[in-house]
Structure 1
Amino acid sequence: MLATIETERLVLRNYKREDAQSMYMHYCGDAEVTRYMSWYPHPDVHYTQRFLEEGILPKNECPDRLELAMTLKGACQHVIDNVVAWKVASDTLELAYVMGRKHQGQGYMREAVQAVLTYLFTHPSFQEVIAYDELDNAASGAVMRKCGLTYQKNILDRRKIDSPEDDVVVCALYSMQKNDWMQDHECEADLLKGSS
């Protein structure tokens, strides 16, 4: 999906070809930041450039995927984070995110996730958003709960995308239904009803 979402402090926008350097610098090349991700830290900026050009940019216009670069207002060329949602069932999206260490603990992720949830739930076809995090990643779970996602159950998931089937971690699965979101966001819900 093509989108630009603005919040009080952030601009979330589709990725551009020239974002590779700041992606690598802020999160893609950092082993600590990628510890809980399904992918490994990138070895160099050239790897990030290829990842961007082959894995992200071609999907910018896909109606079943929203992948946004998080930037600070006034510094839109510096990508500090990634928020992505993709369709996993006919009316369900999975949400994931990663943030560079320099900007953690300042409420940016919560601000971004709330804005993305608003964007997703104002699209009539999406009824549920799910997300999960490793139990050891307490900060990620805290963001989900603060944004209104509800814990559902623990699940087992592969540590990395290419991990052997027995290399698993325990993750907490969270979800939010559109109806629940609409009850908590009456203004946005009224706008949605008025546009249908």
Structure 2
Amino acid sequence: MFLHKIDEELALKLVDMNDAEEMFQLVDTAREHLKEWLGWLDYTKKAEDTKEFIQGCMRSYAENKSMNTVILYNGKMVGTAGYNSIDWSNRTAYIGYWLHQDYQGKGIMTRVAKALTDYAFDYHKLNKVDIRAAAENKKSRSIPERLGFAEEGTIRQAEWLYDHYVDHVVYGMLKDEWKGCS
């Protein structure tokens, strides 16, 4: 089992089937908050949907295509983060994340994104880390900005969110740039 301790408060644990019920409850209690920026909430209506998601995560991890983890804050699950995909041919990891609203404003996601970036460069020997966020999602965009990622551009109408399109802002960090920042 993958468990990466970030600091005294935070750890990342590879998602597994034992997380299904707790993850579903966490999503369910944050549903309206998360729905503003995440397009998958309508497909997660029962614990069985979360189990199917976790099975896909585990399969993708076994195939070395992604790495999805739960965020543990003082031992309690508070969100998820990881590499939504890993492009081995171009040596790039694409980080995605969400955090329950009760735990925002504590620096959790910034520390998580930093740890995932470190891990991508140091362990996986990747060259680039990419983070994308909806243009109007200021909280999500502040994370790569705080970590010194370069804003690389905007993908217009990148995602359909329930009844409208949103643009995505793309942020990137190169390994040689990160070493100068860390």
Aligned to 2:37: 36
Q: Which of 157, 168, 177 is the aligned partner of 2:174?
A: 177
Aligned to 2:82: 84
Contact 1:155 1:173 in 2 (8 A): yes
Contact 1:26 1:101 in 2 (8 A): no
- The percentage of aligned residue pairs carrying the same residue is 16
Contact 1:28 1:34 in 2 (8 A): no
CA displacement 1:116-140 (0-9 Å, x = unmatched): 1111110354101111111111000
Aligned to 1:136: 136
- Within 2, Cα distance between the matches of 1:159 and 1:28? 21
CA displacement 1:158-196 (0-9 Å, x = unmatched): 225xx79xx5311211100000001122xxxxxxxxxxx
Q: How far does residue 31 in structure 1 lie from its aligned partner after superposition? A: 3.1
Aligned to 1:188: none
Q: How far does residue 28 in structure 1 lie from its aligned partner after superposition? A: 5.7
- Within 2, Cα distance between the matches of 1:35 and 1:63? 30
Question: Secondary structure of 1:159's partner?
Answer: strand
- Within 2, Cα distance between the matches of 1:65 and 1:141? 22
Aligned to 1:192: none
What one-letter code is carried by the residue in structure 2 that aligns with 1:178? K
Contact 1:15 1:68 in 2 (8 A): yes
Residues 1:4 and 1:148: Cα distance change in structure 2 (over 3 Å): farther
Q: Gaps (5+ residues) in structure 1?
A: 186-196
Larger displacement relative to structure 2 (25-34 or 146-155): 25-34
Question: What's the Cα RMSD here?
Answer: 2.1
Runs of 4+ in 1 over 6 A off after TM superposition: none
Residues 1:72 and 1:124: Cα distance change in structure 2 (over 3 Å): closer
Question: Secondary structure of 1:43's partner?
Answer: coil
Q: Do residues 47 (structure 1) and 49 (structure 2) align? A: yes
* TM-score normalized with structure 2 length: 0.86
Question: Secondary structure of 1:63's partner?
Answer: coil
Q: Do residues 70 (structure 1) and 67 (structure 2) align? A: no
Question: Secondary structure of 2:35's partner?
Answer: helix
* TM-score normalized with structure 1 length: 0.80
Q: Gaps (5+ residues) in structure 2?
A: none
Residues 1:169 and 1:31: Cα distance change in structure 2 (over 3 Å): same
- Within 2, Cα distance between the matches of 1:33 and 1:146? 22
